[in-house]
Structure 1
Amino acid sequence: MNEPAQNSPAYVVLGAAGGIGAETCRRLSAAGARLLLAGRPSDRLTALGEELGAPTHPLDATRTEEVEAAFKAAVDSFGPIAGAANFVGSLLLKPAHLTTDEEWDSVVATNLRSAFATVRAAAKTMRRSGGSVVLISSAAAQHGFANHEAIAAAKAGVNGLVLSAAATYAPYGLRFNGVAPGLTKTPLTESIWSKETSAAASLDLHAAGRLGEAGDVASAVVWLLDPPNNWITGEILAVDGGLARIRPTKRLGSN
């Protein structure tokens, strides 16, 4: 593997060892980027760091001071950073009346507090140099799906956070965007797509005729991080096979 050039863009990736996070890191690394891989301590995080020759930074992304420490570590290692992406998330499929306070708090902390921590750390670190920050939303924040109350509320909060942060920090050249996937085949969602019944039901809702792959979402994140795309901010990009906005119909005949 070639060493990244000292003037190549540097990024902080939170939740780097997850399915979409790891694929994004591989694509950024292949393009020559320098990366700080942050996430909960795990063998997967260590292995990814060794694979890409990138430093790892174990943290709990629901703790804002730990996220800020990761950004500081990146600046100490690389100098000004070009962007950040937060893939930290969880999935809870339960109706509201069966969701406990502890489950609600966990969903909000993992999905929304970690996103806010990323925005705050990026704003403190990147206001002078500008750059791009990408957060992960969900199709569930844009369309009503049964039994998604907690995760839909948290991801809708991410959407609002993107819009407000984009407005606040636009004068600093600091962009904020979100990517809203449909059902994507990662370890986090394996309990859905690995079962024939639930996979078939989900597939019927995706007009594109297939479930998402990690690379589908990763390519959108990499594109939003890329400095030449610096006229895009405040967007929630649906990468969902049409799930949130299109109701599929059967294939038409050839006549």
Structure 2
Amino acid sequence: MSFRPGLFSSATVLITGATSGIGAATARLFAELGAEVHAIGFGADGPGAPRGPRISVYEQDVTEETGIAAILARLTRLDVLVNCAGLSRDRAEYRPNSWDHVLAVNLTAAMRTASAARQLLAVRGGSIVNLASMYTYFGAADRPAYGASKGGIAALTRALAVEYAPEGIRVNAVAPGWIDTPLSAGLRADPVARQAVLDRIPAGYWGASEQIADVIAFLATPSAAYITGVTLPVDGGYSSM
């Protein structure tokens, strides 16, 4: 760990999509750095969900506004919001119902959660970090809604950065590349596809959830005080090829 111990010891952090993968790694990191963490997602009792004395886990669908509002109503302060909830339905996304559902989870829920958290975040000039993707930057025939939602996250991040700046709230996004998470499990199980991905990553390996969590945490620190409206690729150089 490269952060100062106790860096977030007085902070409260809310993370959506926090019961597995990048979201869970981010929850664990903030808790290790002293924050009170509220982790939202499906599978709250599952093996991938974060655990610890400073972590509260909620079984909650991010598309249900009343549920998110109820969780926020329990908080007396909020310093960091991480919108990490996301899913892909691959080629099924060409069907209207799948398209609508992916957009609702990946993009609309991020907007609504940010809006619901705005008042709390403004009290101390908080930070929002959204999860974009390498698909923010290029097309993929097999996941149109996922790509559209992640392109939308980058645009939403810029819009909210401008809108929220007068209240001292910074809004940034992280765009992960090929990361070893449950979302990529199917691809990693295919040795040919896995190797094709690996061959194009200049860094030479698939990333880890903890590496994305590190960048999310950095964007929430005072060291990033002059950074807002940015979508930062964290992909081992994949998007450079």
TM > 0.5 fold call? yes
> Is the CA contact 1:223–1:229 (under 8 Å) kept in the aligned structure 2?
yes
Partner Cα separation in structure 1 for residue 178 and residue 140 of structure 2 = 12
Tell me the distance in 1 between the aligned counterparts of 2:141 and 2:200.
Answer: 13
Q: Give the whole-Å Cα distance in 2 for the aligned partners of 1:222 and 1:47.
A: 19
Q: Match of 1:12?
A: 14
Give, in angstroms, the shift of residue 139 of structure 1: 0.6
* Structure 1 pair 42–26 and aligned structure 2 pair: CA distance change class (3 A): closer
Offset of residue 41 of structure 1: 4.7
Separation of aligned partners in 2, 1:101 and 1:122 = 30
Whether the 8 Å contact between 2:44 and 2:58 is mirrored in structure 1 is: no
- Equivalent AA in structure 2 for residue 91 of structure 1: S
For the 8 Å contact 1:39–1:45, the answer to whether it is kept is no
Partners of 2:70 and 2:7 lie apart in 1 by 24
Distance 2:37 2:222 in 1: 15
| 8 Å contact from structure 1 (residues 132, 227) kept in 2 | no
- Say whether residues 1:89 and 2:90 are aligned partners: no
- Indicate whether 1:156 and 2:158 are aligned: no
Distance in 2 (CA, whole Å) between partners of 1:107 and 1:229 is 30
Q: Which moved more, 1:131-140 or 1:15-24?
A: 15-24
Question: Which residue matches 2:24?
Answer: 22
Q: Does 1:216 align with 2:211?
A: yes
Instruction: Tell me the residue number matched to 1:68.
Output: 69
Equivalent residue pairs, number = 236
Query: Which protein is bigger by CA-based radius of gyration?
Result: 1
Q: Is residue 2:175 matched to residue 1:180? A: yes
Could you tell me how far apart the structure 2 residues matched to 1:33 and 1:119 are? 19
Contact 2:134 2:176 in 1 (8 A): yes
Contact 2:12 2:79 in 1 (8 A): yes
Partner of 2:3: none
CA distance in structure 1 between the partners assigned to 2:126 and 2:54 by the alignment: 23
Aligned-pair identity (%):
31
The 8 Å contact of residues 16 and 40 in structure 2, kept in 1 or not, is answered as yes
Matched residue type, 2:22: I
Partners of 2:195 and 2:55 in 1: how far apart? 38
Aligned to 1:56: 57
2:189, 2:216 → 1: CA distance?
25
Partners of 2:18 and 2:24 within 8 A in 1: yes
Map 1:81-230 → 2, pairs under 5 A: 81-94=78-91, 99-230=94-225
Between the aligned partners of 2:11 and 2:111, the Cα distance in structure 1 is 23
After superposition, the Cα gap between the structure-2 partners of 1:66 and 1:135, relative to the gap in structure 1 and judged at 3 Å, is same
TM-score (normalizing by structure 2): 0.90
The 1:22–1:52 alpha-carbon spacing in structure 2 relative to 1, beyond 3 Å, is: farther
Structure 2 Cα separation of the partners of residues 6 and 139 of structure 1? 28
For the 8 Å contact 1:162–1:177, the answer to whether it is kept is: yes
Q: State the shift of 1:6 in Å.
A: 11
The two structures, once aligned, show a CA RMSD in angstroms of 2.2
